[in-house]
Structure 1
Amino acid sequence: MKENRVTVLLVCLLAIISITALVLGVLGLTKSNGAGTGGAQPINIYTPGSSGAVTSDEKIWMIAIGHYGSNVEYLDEETYTIRGFNPDILDAVCAIANKNCKLVYDVYGNCWDSNAGQRPRGGQGLMGGWYDGCSGWIQTFDRLLTYSFTKPYMEASKVAIYAKNGSTLPYDDLTNRKVGFADGWAYDEFCLARYTDIEGSRLAQGQIIHFASADRLVEALNNGEVDVIFVSALGQYEEDTTLMKITPPDFDNKCLKGGNSIMTRHNNPDFVIWWNDAFDLLVQRGRYDEICKTVSERHGHIPGRDYTELCIGY
């Protein structure tokens, strides 16, 4: 009888232990799933963001480049990459700023549009947000009405008037002369009109002809479509033996407001701020000086200006 009583007690004790363990287990499971009060744990449910949600670190800063043919910027045919002084500066500044920058090629007219006889204006690419900035554009009176600019990182090239080699045309009298201009460039017919010391500098509509490329300008000059061209004194013009510069060496640049910069929209101030901050560091650390003084070593096989002409402060 005593043995039966002990057995019953043991069975009851085991039952109580089992029930207690079960209750504790249920409570623990409930708490781990966040149903308990006080320290609820978050439930990891993936909620996709909007399709346009990009963190600042992920943003790709698109910068347009639109000119090949000098040591400032050219297409390396072996690597098929854009190289030159301009890309070197862009790469260095973006690296210091820890920004993901991409160079994209587009025609100049999509950054700054100009048509013969019409006031120049912002191009559809930059105005439309296809990219964040256009690289290597000088600051002019007209452009500053439309765009913001970073600090200049390159000296603006000189402006010149060229005629066909062997020509006897004077530079200071353009009366009844047809003048060729590079479409989208700063040195257009409105710039030329600022030279009041040149007779006939205010051209009639029929005297103004725009061309899309330097090659077409040279071709037009040599085949008689135009009498002279009014352009930047770049390497491809300076070294072309079919051309003759008829302006004097001290020919003034009356259209310049600031050197070559990144041109961007007025509603993109963040770009200007981080670029300027990073460019200041580039200069302070001596990297700007290094890029300038090695430009011939890295890009000397391409015609262009020496670093004393390209860089600011030399």
Structure 2
Amino acid sequence: MTQSDEADLTSQKAGKGVIRDNMSTGREMLCLTVAVLIVAVLAILAVILAAISLGRPNTPVNTTVQIPNGGGAVSGAYLGVAPVPEDQDPNKIWVFAIGHDGTNLEYIDDLTGTVRGFHVDIIEAVCNFGNKNCRLMWDVYENCYTQMPNQRPRVGVGLVSRWYDACTGWFATYERIASVSFSKPFRQPLSAVFFVKRGNPQAFSSTDLTGKKIAFIDGHASNIFCVRRAGITGVDRTAMIVHYSTREEIIAGVNGGEVDAVFANDQIFNLRTDLDVAAGNPITTCMQAGAGMMVRKDSRLPNWWDPAFDQLKQTSQYRQICDEITTNHDQSDHEVECVN
């Protein structure tokens, strides 16, 4: 090792360094000062931008985003796209629950296996005027609305669980409006009467129900609350209230002596073959309005259905649908009274 090399190594140990192009102390101080100034300027800009933002408190912030399949909305402030209302979505398929009561309102066509009747004709016409994509879904009536003996009526699982958007041809009643809504009616309200076995062999009187066993159809507008509103003698002293699910079960129950009478609307039975009407005045306290589409409280279906139905009523097509019910759908002796 030369003397020069030894001197360099000694200097490194002393902390003086061996890198020949290292910056001077003055240049280090200059760079540090510039860095501090840059940081300070950035901090000032951040404060100014925050102040500007706080100075505009009314700036709207949209946190919803449209779901591609037409569903609801989710949080997404960074996207800021408003959802399309359901009643304005051209891709929405509106599903209507419909039964088959065997009358000219709803029945199964044996040849095609499809549901036909006045209700089907109305749905097709209104959906055409509203330019909506509509489908029918057959289901039992209890899934739309139901009532058990001595209990308040309630919405059925099908409607409340969104299996469909509406239930077809239901009457607005005092009990139902507490939990569902209705479109404009397309059918006039009905009166209700007591039906008995043909010939009324038990001499049942509709003016005094004391000790009588009365039947009702599950979920129908003509229920025990309707009878109570009518103030009939003995209504709170009936021997028993029985509920049946179908018209056929009730006919068998009345004719078999299981019950004294059944309370129902005046068009549900065939008076030539099924049952007789007990003497007495018809009761008109069951329905608030005529039959229409029964929907959930949050439904937007009436937003387009009602205007489309109003348009239909102004045409000859509507009058033709109403006038030709018994001709096109010869399933019942009863006329269907359309709203004007």
Q: Which runs of 5+ in 1 are unaligned?
A: 1-48
Matched AA of 1:180: A
- Aligned equivalents of 2:279, 2:318: Cα separation in 1: 32
Partner of 1:282: 312
Superposed, which structure 2 residues align to 1:241-252 within 5 Å? 241=274, 243-248=275-280, 250-252=281-283
Partner of 1:104: 137
Partner of 1:311: 338
Aligned residues: 257
Aligned CA-pair RMSD:
1.8
Contact 1:140–1:186, Cα closer than 8 Å, also in 2: yes
Partner of 1:91: 124
Following TM superposition, by how much is the alpha carbon of 1:237 offset from its aligned partner in structure 2, in angstroms? 3.7
Partner of 2:79: none
Following TM superposition, by how much is the alpha carbon of 1:50 offset from its aligned partner in structure 2, in angstroms? 6.1
Q: Which has the larger radius of gyration?
A: 2
Matched AA of 1:177: K
Contact 2:190–2:287, Cα closer than 8 Å, also in 1: no
Identity %: 35
Contact 1:235–1:304, Cα closer than 8 Å, also in 2: no
Match of 2:173 among 123, 128, 140: 140
- Aligned equivalents of 1:275, 1:78: Cα separation in 2: 31
Matched AA of 1:65: I
Quick one: structure 1 residues 98 and 203, their matched pair in 2 at CA, closer, same or farther if it must change by over 3 Å? Answer: farther
Matched AA of 1:245: V
Shift >6 Å, 4+ stretches? none
For the residue of structure 2 that corresponds to 1:136, the secondary structure is: strand
Following TM superposition, by how much is the alpha carbon of 1:166 offset from its aligned partner in structure 2, in angstroms? 1.9
- Aligned equivalents of 2:329, 2:252: Cα separation in 1: 27
Contact 1:189–1:203, Cα closer than 8 Å, also in 2: no
For the residue of structure 1 that corresponds to 2:90, the secondary structure is: coil
For the residue of structure 2 that corresponds to 1:116, the secondary structure is: coil
Following TM superposition, by how much is the alpha carbon of 1:288 offset from its aligned partner in structure 2, in angstroms? 1.2
Superposed, which structure 2 residues align to 1:120-131 within 5 Å? 120-131=153-164
For the residue of structure 2 that corresponds to 1:67, the secondary structure is: coil
For the residue of structure 1 that corresponds to 2:310, the secondary structure is: helix
Partner of 1:74: 107
- Superposed CA offset, 1:208-227 (max 9, x none): 10001000000000111101
Following TM superposition, by how much is the alpha carbon of 1:107 offset from its aligned partner in structure 2, in angstroms? 1.4
Task: State the TM-score, normalized to the length of structure 2.
Answer: 0.72
For the residue of structure 2 that corresponds to 1:230, the secondary structure is: strand
- Superposed CA offset, 1:41-100 (max 9, x none): xxxxxxxx9674478222211111123210011111111111111110011001111111
Task: State the TM-score, normalized to the length of structure 1.
Answer: 0.77
Bigger relative contact order, structure 1 or 2 (CA pairs below 8 A, ≥6 apart) = 1
Quick one: structure 1 residues 304 and 89, their matched pair in 2 at CA, closer, same or farther if it must change by over 3 Å? Answer: farther
Q: Which runs of 5+ in 2 are unaligned?
A: 1-65, 72-83
- Aligned equivalents of 2:103, 2:190: Cα separation in 1: 12
Q: Is 1:200 paired with 2:200?
A: no
